[in-house]
Structure 1
Amino acid sequence: MELSVEVNERSSSEAEPRLLKCPVETAVMACVRSYVEMQTSAPTTTTTRLETHPAGNGRLWMRLPDALESDVSDYVECRLPAVRQSSASSSASANPTGDSQVQVRIRVQHLSGGLSAAARRLAKASAAVFESPPHHPQGLLGFRGSCLHAPNETSVWTKFCEVEMVETTELLVRNLLSHSAHFGQILAERHLTQPLRIHNVYKFARRMQHNQAALDQRGDASQPVAEASRIGKNRKWKSKKAVLIESSTPLKDLGLDHEFAEGPHLTLADVLLYPCFYLIFHILNLDRLSAHLPETVRWFRNLRSRPRFEKLDDFLSDVCRLTFKDEFIISDSVEYLMPDVENCSLYKCDPSRDRSKKRVFTKDVETALGFIKQGLEIDLCKTKRQSKIDWSSVPDAANPFGGHLPADRVERKTQQLENLATAVLNIAKDGNRIVDFCSGGGHLGILLAYLLPSCQIVLLENKEQSLSRAQVRVEALSLTNVTFVQCNLDFFTGPFDIGVALHACGVSTDLVLDKCIERKATFVVCPCCYGSLHTTDRLQYPRSAVFSDVPIDSYMCIGHSADQTHVNHPMEERGVRCMTIIDSDRAQHAMSNGYSVVLSQLEPKNCTPKNMLLVGVRV
């Protein structure tokens, strides 16, 4: 297993040649690795090393851990830090010279990119060493292994841990003379003061009440109530007399505090956040901030008292000594400015979170369509695609008929794959690198890998379970031309020649198109979820200058109407036109960047309600 992080080596003329200059993410990842200690329950032959980059722009000096080797890679596949895992297996394959079977050695490359995905990969390799307390009974990844599982585009919590706190820390490291408490610290304080929101919170509160009662009976009320004092199921404590907590009790009255970042158990999120706050408190003075951020300081000191964090403290203390040289001291006369932020937790389901958003009503669609001038919509190509796939010769592991899908989806999925795969087969050349964005279980990418053995296929997906299912199928097929990359779509930085995406939801389709345009790569995409389009820090709508006169509210209304395309829906015909309008805007955007674009529909049209196909080739 290779731990890849962005660093910048100090020149050999320096007094300490083993020092690295790195961004905050590298220090965080080094702490994660130190915490999990790479212990596994089974022997492994994998290795861990740092891939350094001379162009790194970090500000923290870090002493290279003895267990890691420095290496410079030619390019990286995704945003660092990243964990690269190689696994080898043997598979039986037919001998081309006879009927006998030969053993084929398959080596699978799996890359997890981005802070959360990389940290989760390390934690999963070491899950067996974490026992409660204070960890969750199911390990460092928490309940059902869901800690930091959701991508930061959809999860408020992952975005806070992976992006906002790192950016806050980086900002302070770069600008030491700014003493205002930044956005990230205040968000953390607000979160820790809010009621606990965990799975079965009332059941947990009753258990804690029962444990406290047991301690009181033993005359040991001074002992803190924790999971360590858990008592096995006892039917007596479930009696009406013992149970004082009802399911209607407000969460704030349960008496449960945030002992750790995600609640009563220590999880990977605590390990990620700890290095950031260590650096922040070193710069801004822990004792001075305790009056302004009492809950955050309490959380920090609680972690600091835990045995495993002593090792992290030694490492971070060394980072601060090397970076700041103990010369930076904040005067007692300095006043801290506390920005005003929303008083809510970082739980996505928190009802106190501001969800004020102008609703889009499709009843206004006729008014919206009035802004679409003649000539804006691209004519749909009517040319029939000639299939080049003989499904009878495709093995089960690459074939929807192989039992990977429910029976009612098999035929439609086969038709969808045939449309996109045929388009790629007409374009691809030997040696091309093809990325299947938002690949899911790899239906399209694995089919392409089988049909195009001379091409390299990358399955890009942020869900671990989906890639795990795909890996089983790849190994069953003995494919040697597939690489797995687990990261957010916008974290992918590797080179490629063709980008494909089947039903990439909402803005994901536009992120794929932008990736392809950036790399001057051919694209074959079938969009989905037009109604979830929204402006982001990276995407503005309309996408093209040609559609710039269409008001944003009208554009979003058209997008919502584009989702009304189900068979026999009364608005089906209008929905198809709205899909055509949105995809015409996407096509115009690509054309303005030097592409020739063909817009058509999948065949047969009823294979999916979202049946538009965009094929773009760089002119």
Structure 2
Amino acid sequence: MVGITFRKKTYVTVHLETYTFYKEYQDTHKMKVPLETFIAFCIFKYCPSTSVVLRFVPVKPTPEQVKAAVILAKENLVYMINDYEVPWPVAMCVYPVIMNDDLIVTGLCAVARHIAIFRTCGRIPEEHEEGLLGFRHSCLQAPNEVSIWTKFCEIDMIKAMQEITNAVELKELPKHLVRFEHHLRKPVRVHNIYKVARNIKKESVKAEQQANAGGKSTDGPETSGTRDPQPSTSSGPPASNSGSLQSVEEEESVEKLDKVEQQPSAELTESVVDEEQKCVLKSVDTDQSTVMSKADVTKDEGDANDQQQTAEQKPSTEQPANAEQQASSNQTETDKQVPTEKSSNAEIQALADKQTPNESGEGTSAAQRIAKPRKWKSLRKRECLIESTTKIEDLQVNHEYAEGPFLTLADLVLLPTYHVIIQTIGEQRFESLLPTTYRWYKKVMSLQKVQDTFVCYMDKFDIQQTTSENISLPTSEDVSLYKTDPKRHNPRKRIYTREEDIEAALSFIKEGMELPISENNYEPAFEWKDIPEYASPYAGFLPDTRAQRKSQQLENLVLAVLKMATDGDVIVDFCSGGGHLGILLAYLLPRCTIIFLENKVQSLFTARERIQKLRINNVFYFQCNLDFFIGEFDIGVGLHACGIATDLILDKCVQAKAKFVVSPCCYGSLHYTNRLIYPRSQAFASVPIVNYLCIAHAADQTHKEHPLAVRGARCMAIIDSDRARLAEEMGYKVTLMKLKPPTCTPKNDLLIGIPPEE
């Protein structure tokens, strides 16, 4: 056994919060859990995996949390751990939390996605062909900081449920329920919506044909050379919008099979291939005229007359040896006379009359053409075609589920929340108020897989129905929750500035409000030539034109951190992206722990690959939003954190009493939220919010060699001064300086804060 090493199998451990301690659970086999825990638990049951395990962490709840809790009844033994057994990276996050080796995932939607990725069972017919995560696994992928839909699923609806269950007397429903009702009534917005609509129509046509003919095609009489259509083998009901839909590849293969079976003429084949290459369907009539264009227009009418003449004359089968050649010659002459698509109907009819044999025999060839039957599959294909110019509203692709015609992870995340709300209000009352949402709820509840993994546990909820008599609906803007919908809900109202508006806004800035800009005196402490390849931006991770500027930016922040860091410090690289800053810090400070905090999975994987090649083991990766990170740390850094992300970083640092080194970015995207209030400090409280946002918008006018760059730099300093004054009001000593050289980036402000001594 020499030379063989055995590595213990690593599991994806899901840590869930519970309000019941182990002894109480042993007696009752019931646990009070927050709704987020219940959702994650049921998704784990829906997506079983041998690589995922559950751990329940008992915590002491507040009275409000207990009131909004649900009952999880489970006879089997549940594994619980105590506080001292919780890994420290997990303790730094909001539950539910996943720990997968050195990767930490937190946030309800991110945890649910991670569980679904490790799923080992097959999908049900109602799901998308790629599973619960949908096309390219994009379902709930965007974090709630940037996605209205993700925020709605994991934050807004949870708050709406808590508002209803905690209400003493419910008079009005939360507006989020009305927003979802509007969403379900909106046109579906999914990738390749026209392909989905064609598949739905194709399945509908198949189901109708099978119903009329008892499962046998009725497109026309059976003739030689024409095969019977194969019955549908897709699972689920044929006419359903989900489950029985064919994939893109399946439809393309069916279309190719149709062409082979039809054996069309050379002109027809060329026309169809040309149309498929162009992928243009102008209209149904245009498509039919295209399919029947050129020789087919004449040939079909000639075929009809040929059939009649063949029945009357019954010509002898003894044809000259060159009959087929003569027919081919006549057909060639016909092709030369085929009118163009712009020809009038009269010209087409005249040419058809000329080519049709008459009673006197004029216009006939020596050999009679054999009649060919009409291609039934081409007719079916034309019936299923949907032109690409059709409005999305007219595609008849309905919201069978939350994100369209397929069951996705979003439905499973929303279902328990709506179950609590509907049972609290009462089903009849809820249906009368929100009928579309109620139909969605009943459809999801009727699925057998959902019955086995969700409903069996939800039936044990201890829900008290509200006694409120009159419950009204709030007024809510009739907008969509789709990000791609131009009529989507968008709380950000863009500020477009004019010269007079900017000057008027700057008039509110009084003397002493702005923080003086200090000189950057940091001396180089390392040489780039001594930095390993995978820790340097020169290693090809960036274009050559950006590598030098990126290295200058990194050097400024790293030098500031090196001056304040001590051994054993925990340093958080907020919005770490691909890890340029964090990797350099991890290499230069091997005795410190570096946390990469990023909500984009691919960015963390890129950073992880570089770290593994450097063989550095002092790094942890946190896939989460800033809201879900609640741990303590010593230094917080952020390079070009966009918009409100800079303010969130500063708030995290102030709450943890940690030092910070931050270079802000994207001032124009600042907007007031329920978490952030602008202006941030008391020193700038006299500046109206409209004027403040006008200054922030002008702060982005810092393009190199631009006439407005000087004023833009001042506006940028004003916004950062407001941030610095807020930290100073908390006892911090804050320095505002410029990156060196200032030309390394237009957003070259640098905020450095030192907390008050204990």
- Matches of 1:330 and 1:608, distance apart in 2: 58
1:49 corresponds, among 44, 51, 55, to 55
Change (3 A) 1:55 1:336: closer
Aligned to 2:334: none
C-alpha change, 1:24 and 1:479, in structure 2 (3 Å) is same
8 Å CA contact retained: 1:48, 1:69: yes
Quick check: which one's helix share is greater? 2
Q: What CA distance in whole angstroms lies between the structure 2 residues aligned with 1:319 and 1:524?
A: 50
Q: Equivalent residues in 2 for 1:437-586 (5 A)?
A: 437-586=574-723
Corresponding residue number in structure 2 for 1:71: 81
Residue of structure 2 aligned with 1:113, choices 103, 106, 112: 106
Alignment partner of 1:24 is 2:39: no
Cα contact 1:278–1:316 (8 A) shared by 2: no
- Residue 451 (structure 2) aligned to one of 285, 310, 323: 310
Q: TM-score, normalised by structure 2?
A: 0.73
Could you list the runs of 5+ residues in structure 1 that have no partner in the other structure? Answer: 87-108
Mapped to 2, the partners of 1:380 and 1:180 lie a distance apart of 52
Q: In the alignment, is the contact (CA less than 8 A) between 2:664 and 2:749 conserved in 1?
A: yes
Q: In structure 2, what residue type is equivalent to 1:215?
A: A
What RMSD over aligned residues (CA atoms) do the two structures have, in Å?
2.4
CA contact (8 A) 1:501 1:509 kept: yes
Q: Indicate the larger mover: 408-417 or 496-505.
A: 408-417
Equivalence for 1:93: none
User: Structure 2 matches for 1:253-402, cutoff 5 A?
Assistant: 253-320=394-461, 323-324=462-463, 328=464, 334-353=469-488, 357=493, 359-363=495-499, 364-402=501-539
Name 1:133's counterpart in structure 2.
125
Give the TM-score of the pair, scaled to structure 1.
Answer: 0.89
Structure 1 partner of 2:224: none
1:195·1:252 contact (CA, 8 Å) conserved in 2? yes
Q: Which moved more, 1:539-548 or 1:523-532?
A: 539-548
Moved more, 149-158 or 167-176: 167-176
More displaced, 288-297 or 128-137?
Answer: 128-137
Distance in 1 of aligned mates of 2:112 and 2:163: 22
Tell me if the contact between 1:23 and 1:170 (Cα under 8 Å) persists in the aligned partners.
Answer: no
Mapped pair 1:60 → 2:195 = no
Aligned mate of 1:228, from 244, 247, 272: 244
- CA gap 1:318/1:290 in 2 versus in 1, 3 angstroms: closer
Partner secondary structure for residue 542 of structure 2:
coil
- Equivalent position amino acid for 1:184 in 2: H
Secondary structure at the aligned position of 2:751 is classed as: strand
> Is the 1:136–1:267 Cα contact (8 Å) retained in structure 2?
yes
Contact 2:399 2:405 in 1 (8 A): yes
Partner of 2:98: 83
- 1:616 lines up with 2:753 in the alignment: yes
- 351-360 or 431-440, which deviates more: 351-360
> Partners of 1:13 and 1:482 in 2: how far apart?
39
1:11 Cα offset (Å): 7.2
State the 1:515 CA deviation. 0.7
Contact (CA 8 Å) 2:520, 2:740: kept in 1 or not? Answer: no
| Letter of the 1:306 counterpart | L
8 Å CA contact 1:362–1:558 kept in 2: the answer is no
Shift of 1:82: 1.4
Counterpart of 1:99 in structure 2 is: none
More strand by share: 1
Given the superposition, is the C-alpha separation of residues 14 and 253 from structure 1 closer, same or farther in structure 2, using an over 3 Å criterion?
closer
CA separation of 1:541 and 1:175: change in aligned 2, threshold 3 A = closer
Distance 2:24 2:508 in 1: 65
Aligned-residue identity in percent: 42
Structure-to-structure mapping, 1:213-252, within 5 angstroms: 213-219=205-211, 223-225=238-240, 226-230=242-246, 232-233=251-252, 234=255, 240-241=287-288, 242=382, 245-252=386-393
Show the counterpart of 2:190: 198
Q: Give the deviation of 1:244 after TM superposition.
A: 5.4
Residue 147 of structure 1 pairs with residue 143 of structure 2? no
The letter of the residue matching 2:434 is L
Query: 2-side partners of 1:247 and 1:232: how far apart?
Result: 16
Distance verdict in 2 for CA 1:521–1:228, change over 3 Å: same
CA distance in 2, matches of 1:329, 1:577: 58
Q: What is the CA deviation profile of residues 209-267 of structure 1, one whole-angstrom value per residue up to 9, with x for unaligned ones?
A: 23322333444698424442525321669781326533332222111111111001111
Aligned to 2:348: none
Instruction: For residue 169 of structure 1, report the CA deviation from its aligned partner.
Output: 1.7
Q: 1:597 to 1:183 in 2, by over 3 A?
A: same
Alignment partners' CA distance in 1, 2:490 and 2:571: 39
Which amino acid is 1:256 matched to? V
Maintained 8 Å contact 2:21/2:58: no
Give 1:304 deviation, angstroms.
Answer: 1.8
Shift of the alpha carbon at 1:77? 1.5
Q: Distance in 2 between matches of 1:586 and 1:366?
A: 21
Write the letter of the residue equivalent to 1:360: Y
Q: How many residues align?
A: 585
Tell me the secondary structure at the aligned position of residue 290 of structure 1: helix
What is the letter of the counterpart of residue 475 of structure 2? D
Tell which structure's C-alpha radius of gyration is larger.
2
Task: Output the CA distance in 1 between the equivalents of 2:456 and 2:35.
Answer: 13
Q: CA deviation at 1:14?
A: 7.5
Is the alpha carbon distance of 1:355 and 1:296 closer, same or farther for their aligned partners in structure 2, counting shifts above 3 Å? closer
Deviations 1:150-179 (A, max 9, x none): 111221111110111111222333347537
Q: What SS does the corresponding residue of 1:499 show, helix, strand or coil?
A: strand
Tell me which amino acid in the other structure corresponds to 1:604.
P
Give the corresponding residue for 2:153: 161
Distance 1:219 1:552, change over 3 A: same
